[in-house]
Structure 1
Amino acid sequence: MVRPTVFILLFGLFLSPIKLLSQQLNFTVTINSERARTQDTDIFDQMKSAFEQFLNGRNWTDAELKPQERIKGNLLITINDMPQVGIFNATVQVQTVRPIYGSNYESLILNFADRNWTFEYTESQPLEFNQFSYLNNITSLLAYYAYIAIGIDHDSFSPRGGDPYFEVANNIVANAQQSSSSGWNQNPSDKRNRYWLANDLYNSQVMVPVRDAYYLYHRMGLDLLTTKPSESYQNIVEAIKMVQEANKVQPNSILTISFMDAKSDEISKILKAAPMELKEEAVEVLLKVDPNNARKYNDILKG
């Protein structure tokens, strides 16, 4: 007969892998604290560990994923100032990648710079989050980008598959507007903040072609590159046209900028092997939607 205590132990061991399988993120947090002007550098080691545990150690969705299937990402935090103990002003770069079918290649899918992180953090501070109410700025910031990352990843695998995650991100924005923290509000002079990104992804009909482009570019483009290259190149170019379509109606939206920031290097390399007719067609569109990278795109024509 198995003793009750032993049974509970075995039962717990049996269940523990299931919990591990249901976590969705695999983020690495890097903190540059050179500007913080503090001798207490241990706080940043604790911060790194706490932020990684918050992002990677909880279940953001009901999906059950194996460790190798989790969404890989980087959170690059540069502390710009520490006006008083426990309060930080920072600039943050959020990046995530997506594996490409039939290869070892990982495609950069989200590359977003957020210049307005102001948050409080103290040693051993518990990081609590409730998607239905605003508790504090740091967990709202981290959770917001968790849902944005998951939503964009889902958009790349199925048409507008990110809807439920963008809805939560949009709700986080709405709840955070009660705070005095920057980046959460509909500021017409700052259209590159968290409010506008969530709005473009969830509320804006004008930006729907960009969301559709994530699917066409990745699932019907990059994922087919080794098996159906002609179809793949055509779909990649069509995806770029969809981004340009949205850009015509709403020039320089944060979602268009974010898409091109993530894909510009990749596009310039991949399309060099495309047929010349497609390359010329793509470059003509790219120069309109992302003129700042004109030199990069003109190099496509050189093969």
Structure 2
Amino acid sequence: MKYFLVLFSLFCFNTTFAQELNCKVTVNASQIQSVGTTVDKSLFPDMERAIFNFMNNQRWTNDVFSEKEKIKCSLNITLAKSPAQNVFNAKTQFQVIRPIYGTTLETVTLQYFDQVFDFSYAPEDRQMIFNEQNFTNNLTSMLAFYSLMAIAIDYDSFSKFGGTPFIERAFNVSNLAGNSAGGPWIMDTDTRNRYWLIENIRSQPFVAFREGFYNYHRIALDDFATNPANSRKVILDFLNTIKNVAGLKQNSIIINTFFDAKSAEIINIFSEGTKQEKQQVFELVSFLDPDKTENYRKILK
């Protein structure tokens, strides 16, 4: 529906082209520690503005977005250390948000915690130049990767496998960065790094996950207000699909990020379900996302 509306606005109104993302950026430097160097704290507001401009001004598609149709997301960067001048070790939380049609509500489609977000930034870097076919630096590659993943996840939620072209482009960014920078861009024992994020979503076992992800959003959530019983059935089917996928790909980052984004939502949705639905869902989610088992017990009340 989103893209039919976009096309309608293209032909019927004088809609100007606009970038795809509406991204809130926060750089938190309150806990940063320097190692053998003095940190210039006046650099941080400039860094935040430069990252904000990249995330909100870079253009990734030829689709038309009005201001209210932009993909909402947030990037929270927590600086931990500065091991050398203008070099930073950080962690990030990246979140992508989608409206639920027919309501005033929103849903989180991606919640990703990046534990190794290391980069360099100097005042002369405020004009970030990015070439999708070449590796320039770690910061622009990470921001481009996040941007393409945001679009891929959003498009997948509106159109079955609609995000595929952007997944492939994110993979290309990851591959180029891996060849040049290594670290979280390459295969590692840390199964939550960027390599595994893109590997998971591109792999054959996750075809069923991506189809179910579309059903969860477009069929279940968007229709929940008018047909909650059917929506719960669709979501229950998807949770069973995730269980099957998890058996093929254990400890998958895509499954972990899904439950990081959706645990509270699933609790709310099934708190009004039948006794049988509640029991089925509790058994599934406590198995798939055991760290949140105590929270999931709310479903049974």
User: TM-score with structure 2 length normalisation?
Assistant: 0.90
Contact 1:156–1:214 (CA under 8 A) maintained in structure 2 = yes
| Partner Cα separation in structure 2 for residue 29 and residue 245 of structure 1 | 36
Post-superposition Cα deviations, 1:217-248, rounded to whole Å, max 9, x if no partner, equal 11111111111111111111111111111111
Q: CA deviation at 1:276?
A: 2.0
Equivalence for 2:5: none
Equivalence for 2:53: 53
Bigger mean CA offset, 123-132 vs 147-156:
123-132
Q: Kindly provide the amino acid, as one letter, of the partner of residue 27 in structure 1.
A: C
Counterpart of 1:186 in 2: which secondary structure? Answer: coil
Counterpart of 1:178 in 2: which secondary structure? Answer: helix
Q: How does 1:1-303 map to 2 (within 5 A)?
A: 18=16, 21-37=17-33, 40-125=40-125, 126-187=127-188, 189-202=189-202, 204-302=203-301
Contact 2:39–2:85 (CA under 8 A) maintained in structure 1 = no
Counterpart of 2:219 in 1: which secondary structure? Answer: coil
| Partner Cα separation in structure 2 for residue 17 and residue 228 of structure 1 | 34
Counterpart of 1:221 in 2: which secondary structure? Answer: helix
Post-superposition Cα deviations, 1:258-278, rounded to whole Å, max 9, x if no partner, equal 111110111111210122222
| Partner Cα separation in structure 2 for residue 144 and residue 198 of structure 1 | 9
Say which one has the larger Rg.
1
Post-superposition Cα deviations, 1:28-56, rounded to whole Å, max 9, x if no partner, equal 11111023345632211111111111011
Q: CA deviation at 1:181?
A: 4.5
| Partner Cα separation in structure 1 for residue 291 and residue 111 of structure 2 | 16
Q: Kindly provide the amino acid, as one letter, of the partner of residue 178 in structure 1.
A: N
Q: CA deviation at 1:17?
A: 6.6
Unmatched 5+ residue regions in structure 1? 1-15
State the aligned residue count.
Answer: 283
Contact 1:46–1:124 (CA under 8 A) maintained in structure 2 = no
Post-superposition Cα deviations, 1:125-158, rounded to whole Å, max 9, x if no partner, equal 1211111111111000000000011101111111
Identity score, percent: 36
Post-superposition Cα deviations, 1:84-122, rounded to whole Å, max 9, x if no partner, equal 221111001101111001111110111001111111111
Q: CA deviation at 1:174?
A: 0.8
User: Which runs of structure 1 show a deviation greater than 6 angstroms over 4 or more consecutive aligned residues?
Assistant: none
Counterpart of 1:41 in 2: which secondary structure? Answer: coil
Equivalence for 1:7: none
| Partner Cα separation in structure 2 for residue 257 and residue 39 of structure 1 | 35
| Partner Cα separation in structure 2 for residue 167 and residue 296 of structure 1 | 36
| Partner Cα separation in structure 2 for residue 300 and residue 17 of structure 1 | 45
User: TM-score with structure 1 length normalisation?
Assistant: 0.90
Contact 2:15–2:66 (CA under 8 A) maintained in structure 1 = no
| Partner Cα separation in structure 2 for residue 42 and residue 28 of structure 1 | 20
Unmatched 5+ residue regions in structure 2? 1-13
Contact 2:138–2:181 (CA under 8 A) maintained in structure 1 = no
Equivalence for 2:6: none
Contact 1:191–1:253 (CA under 8 A) maintained in structure 2 = yes
| Partner Cα separation in structure 2 for residue 186 and residue 252 of structure 1 | 14
Counterpart of 1:183 in 2: which secondary structure? Answer: helix
| Partner Cα separation in structure 2 for residue 59 and residue 300 of structure 1 | 42
Bigger mean CA offset, 177-186 vs 85-94:
177-186
Q: Kindly provide the amino acid, as one letter, of the partner of residue 139 in structure 1.
A: T
Counterpart of 2:123 in 1: which secondary structure? Answer: coil
Q: Kindly provide the amino acid, as one letter, of the partner of residue 31 in structure 2.
A: R
Q: Kindly provide the amino acid, as one letter, of the partner of residue 215 in structure 2.
A: L
Taking only aligned residues, the RMSD between alpha carbons, in angstroms, comes to 1.5
| Partner Cα separation in structure 1 for residue 39 and residue 88 of structure 2 | 15
